[in-house]
Homo-oligomer: A and B are copies of this chain.
Amino acid sequence: MYDIRPHEIAVPIPAPDDARLYFIGRIHTPWNDRKDCPRQGRTDGPECRIEIFEPWVPALQGIEDYESVEVLYWLNKARRDLIVQNPSHSERTYGTFALRSPVRPNPIGTVLAKLISVDGPNLIVRGLDCLNGTPLIDLKPDRCAFSPKAPPKP
């Protein structure tokens, strides 16, 4: 658990239960300790593997048409009660929503990853920065490359 730093502000919060998630897969990266993770993924970073669990594997059909995919994952080790943070003792504090820190009320990370290949339930990608074993919650085509498949509305 991340400890609180000087000038950080935590708030009392109830247990969350407004909505519930499925873990639909698992992300395999070279980083087994938080201190080893890069602060931001780079598309020239190492290849990582995204494993999709059943029954979701057929939902990958067509994803190979995209050069980049948006990956949503669950930062299951992050505390959720900080509203103001002090990133590694920087000179000032920031509100949680002005940071991309894993510490946030709903610890969801998003990244745009470069899609290298798809093989059955596995995607090989570059550009991730999360811990090995991180739970996957969604995959979408890059919004910039995606055109709606249904006709425009009148």
**Chain A: residues with CB nearer than 8 A to chain B?**
9, 11-13, 15-24, 35, 38-40, 52, 55-56, 58-63, 65-66, 69-70, 72, 74, 76, 80, 83-84, 87-88, 90, 93-100, 104-106, 108, 110-112, 135, 137-141, 143, 146, 148-153
Check A140/B100 contact, CB under 8 A, given A95-B63, A149-B90. yes
Among B97, B135, B139, B141, the residue within 8 A (CB) of A18 is B135
Residues of chain B within 8 A (CB-CB) of A15 are: 20
Residue in B55, B112, B149 whose CB lies within 8 Å of A143: B112
* 27 cross-chain CB contacts under 8 A: A12-B55, A18-B135, A19-B135, A20-B21, A22-B105, A24-B105, A24-B106, A40-B143, A55-B83, A56-B83, A56-B97, A58-B83, A59-B96, A59-B98, A59-B104, A60-B95, A60-B98, A87-B148, A87-B150, A99-B149, A100-B140, A100-B146, A100-B148, A106-B137, A108-B108, A110-B143, A112-B143
Complex: how many Å from CA A9 to CA B12? 43
Chain B CB within 10 Å, residue with most, of A13, A60, A61, A146: A61
Top 5 nearest A-B pairs (CB, nearest first) are A61-B95, A88-B150, A62-B98, A87-B149, A59-B96
Contacts of A106 in B (CB 8 A): 21-22, 24, 72, 137-138
Chain B contacts of A95 at CB under 8 A?
58-63
> Within 8 Å CB of A13, what residues of B?
22, 55
